[in-house]
Structure 1
Amino acid sequence: MSEDDSTVRLPGRRSEPSRYPDDVPDQGFGYGDYPSDEPTFDPGYAAPESDRTLTLPGQTPPGALLTPPPPPANDRLLVHVVWELLLVVLVAALAVFCWRVEPAMFHSAGLRLIAVQAAALGLLAMAVSVSLRAGAPNLAVGAFAAVAGLLFARAYEHNLPVALIPGLGVALVAGLALGVLVALLHVPGWAASLAALCGGLVATTLIGHGAAVTVADGAPDPRRWAYVWFIAVAATSVLAGVFGLVRPLRRAIGAFRPVADPAERRGPGAALMVVLALTVSGGLAGLSGVLSAVQVRTAVGSGSILPQLLLALGAVLVGGVSAYGRRGGVFGSMLGVLALVLAVQFGTMRGWPGPATTFGVAGGAIVLGLVVTRLVEWGGRRRESARMLGV
């Protein structure tokens, strides 16, 4: 036996090209031509020659796992359209029921009262909605409204513009301060707004000394312009919903929403948007408080903070705005407002206890709204099968 023959050769070792020529098709180590229906050896990405990976036909190479995931699915409007159509039917059925049981609700004075109440609650619902869509839920809208109403009642002396300045000014400044706090510390909006809620409770106690403040005689009666108020608020709400359908605008408003790490800062643009959103939220809440005070001729104070907040939140969630703030409809919020106003007014006409009626309606609306949130999130996502097909 020669010295060459005594050398132990391992399979696949190519130290001698003359004994292992490269031009001979290798049926076991990934060289040569293969039919398309037979297994092939794919080296993967940056794999050494001695470490071949078996890839069957139709399989994805291991290196493909390093490709980025597909972009998030676009919002789907169909679920909002279907739900808002159902809301129209529900509101119509509720109105017919109330009319059959309590016809006085729909007399001239009753309709005007419902229109003004819907306008006031609609403003507060928009205040909640804009903060939700910005990713910083404002739970102090009821406090802002109560403080604005008290300040207006205190300041009114037959001069409407002068009386509006302290109420609306304080609400705007409070919303701005809340937005700066949320943006500067990058904390959840609901947590920071609880501090603002406590501040509102203290302010209402100091301003009203724990009692309601009566609006002076001569203040304009919003029921004279009830339908104008309602149409203006409804048109503003619908217009805001239409703007929310524009993808760049929607993403800009919701830039503060967390994507992966909630504590990670989202940048100066997101901070600016959350400050703007909470300032607008405060202003809308203040206007709602003033309208409510003028309508009932009394500023209740701290007693209205929680009921108004819960009713507004329930109306927004029932209307189809996701509790996560990612999605929202067009007509849903005002339809939810109408449903809640009709329900509360019906309870009042029937002589039910006020707090029980208000909290019962608000609690039921919030529970239903959470169900709607789950339906909206489920219906607004692209299915896995559609993602695999690339549609």
Structure 2
Amino acid sequence: MAVHVVWEIGLLLLAGGVLFALTTSSGGPFAEGSWTGLFAALAPIIMLTSAMAVSLRVGAVNLAVGPIALFSAWMFVDASGSGSAMALGVGLGVAAFVGIVLATLTAWLRAPGWAASGAVGGAIGLWAGTAGDPSSFMLSELPGTGVLAALGAATGVSLFFGLVGAFSGVRTRLAPIRQTPVGERHGRGGLVFVGILLSSTLAGAAGVVSAWTAVPEGGAAALPDPILLTVVALGAALLGGTSLIGRRGGVCGTVFAATLVLALMWLAEGRGWGFDPSWIALGAIVAGFLVTRLVEAMNTVDESERASTRRAGSLADLHDDDPQPGERDRTEDYDEDFAGLGSGDPWTDTGGFRTTGGIPKQGAGADPFGASGVFDDLRDAPRDGYGAPRHGR
């Protein structure tokens, strides 16, 4: 976890510096000298980033977090005429239903997370293109205390999942998912199912908070952009230290990275930089690739490898390799085998078929190359002093 601690300290300093620059800018949430706008936008971003990070940890990236947030926000606004409790139940309920469908595709059918979530997100996008606008939003805007509560809940959930994922037991249980090729059974289907379900539910909660904190003057509520939300969530999750390969991640990096990305986008808009602030979210994904490589390079030893390495360096292993009292050293057998190579003559030795030192030896008159007689002339020919056969006799 050392690399995550160092990286998260750097993210904290960067996010604090960008927020300070944002307070002096003429645009963004501080244009009117209020922190409420920052908190109202930051709470759903942290929820979406946490949703993406959870799916990455279980090895099934959920690219449908943005469409799920849009779907939940649409249903929440449409059901707002029935009261806040009913609207919350409908908004979170549809997110949980989509999560069950997505988790079934990923955990039971063992489809890759990007493919299953892409299909689900595409289906939601096709539905949103034909569904039109929801009914008028009938609830009052979420008050400042509610915004703070939503931000506190989002931060607490993110830190809780980060702490749980930091335990070696949890990381060990996630290891088979990472090591097993996609499509093969890894025995951790339950963890993948729960992780995808939590990811989808968090995405739905982000959509509800986003719609509740952006109440319009009249008419239909402003719904979130699903593609932009997905890009921001993926970029912030990777930038926060969650590995794209799965299993590994930090504790506070998700919160710090989400704050940094959102503050940079607002700073670019407030300072009038000559590009679309959405490119910052895309740049965060590219930077996240580098962070993933850093995390993987600094965490090359797994728990099982660390245990075997620790044992390999102990004197007990040398003691275990020594022969026990009463046991014959196997090297004596090898010595006899090598000694037996030079003892006896396989052509003239008597006594029938026997083995000396593990090497078969034939009796007198036997041809070790078979009964063909091909080598009889070499064996019976008279030889000179140097062992070569003499001809002409």
**Residues 1:375 and 2:294 aligned together:** yes
User: Do 1:133 and 1:326's aligned partners in 2 also have CA atoms closer than 8 Å?
Assistant: yes
C-alpha change, 1:84 and 1:258, in structure 2 (3 Å) is: closer
C-alpha change, 1:103 and 1:191, in structure 2 (3 Å) is: closer
Task: Output one character per residue of 1:229-274: Cα deviation in whole Å (capped at 9) or x when no partner.
Answer: 222211221111111111222333x36624143332112xx11111
Alignment counterpart, residue 143 of structure 1, candidates 45, 60, 67: 67
User: Do 1:146 and 1:299's aligned partners in 2 also have CA atoms closer than 8 Å?
Assistant: no
C-alpha change, 1:215 and 1:88, in structure 2 (3 Å) is: farther
The equivalent residue for 2:356 is none
User: Do 1:147 and 1:203's aligned partners in 2 also have CA atoms closer than 8 Å?
Assistant: no
Would you say how many aligned residue pairs link Structure 1 and Structure 2? 306
TM-score of the aligned structures, taking structure 2 as reference length: 0.71
Whichever residue aligns with residue 106 of structure 2, its letter is: V
Task: Output one character per residue of 1:194-253: Cα deviation in whole Å (capped at 9) or x when no partner.
Answer: 10011110222233x2x5x4752433424443222222211221111111111222333x
Distance 2:300 2:202 in 1: 31
The equivalent residue for 1:275 is 193
The equivalent residue for 2:124 is 200
The equivalent residue for 2:226 is 305
Whichever residue aligns with residue 283 of structure 1, its letter is: T
Runs of 5+ unmatched residues, structure 1: 1-76
**Residues 1:324 and 2:252 aligned together:** no
Runs of 5+ unmatched residues, structure 2: 315-393
User: Do 2:80 and 2:138's aligned partners in 1 also have CA atoms closer than 8 Å?
Assistant: no
Distance 2:87 2:140 in 1: 10
Task: Output one character per residue of 1:131-151: Cα deviation in whole Å (capped at 9) or x when no partner.
Answer: 111111110010100000011
**Residues 1:154 and 2:78 aligned together:** yes
Whichever residue aligns with residue 98 of structure 2, its letter is: A
The equivalent residue for 1:129 is 53
C-alpha change, 1:96 and 1:220, in structure 2 (3 Å) is: closer
**Residues 1:257 and 2:181 aligned together:** no
C-alpha change, 1:311 and 1:346, in structure 2 (3 Å) is: same
Whichever residue aligns with residue 172 of structure 1, its letter is: A
- Bigger shift: residues 306-315 or 258-267: 258-267
User: Do 2:54 and 2:199's aligned partners in 1 also have CA atoms closer than 8 Å?
Assistant: yes
Moved runs in structure 1, 4+ residues, more than 6 A? Answer: 383-386
User: Do 2:12 and 2:256's aligned partners in 1 also have CA atoms closer than 8 Å?
Assistant: yes
Distance 1:159 1:94 in 2: 39
The equivalent residue for 1:345 is 266
Distance 2:15 2:313 in 1: 39
Whichever residue aligns with residue 100 of structure 1, its letter is: T
C-alpha change, 1:287 and 1:80, in structure 2 (3 Å) is: same
Alignment counterpart, residue 290 of structure 1, candidates 180, 188, 208: 208
What is the CA-CA distance between 1:152 and the residue it aligns to? 0.8
The equivalent residue for 1:62 is none
The equivalent residue for 1:248 is 169
The equivalent residue for 1:225 is 146
Task: Output one character per residue of 1:305-334: Cα deviation in whole Å (capped at 9) or x when no partner.
Answer: 100000011111111111111211111000
Distance 1:300 1:103 in 2: 20
Distance 1:153 1:241 in 2: 31
Q: Percent identity?
A: 32
- Bigger shift: residues 107-116 or 307-316: 107-116
Whichever residue aligns with residue 190 of structure 1, its letter is: W
Alignment counterpart, residue 284 of structure 2, candidates 359, 365, 370: 365
**Residues 1:94 and 2:18 aligned together:** yes
Whichever residue aligns with residue 189 of structure 2, its letter is: A
C-alpha change, 1:364 and 1:165, in structure 2 (3 Å) is: same
C-alpha change, 1:140 and 1:272, in structure 2 (3 Å) is: same
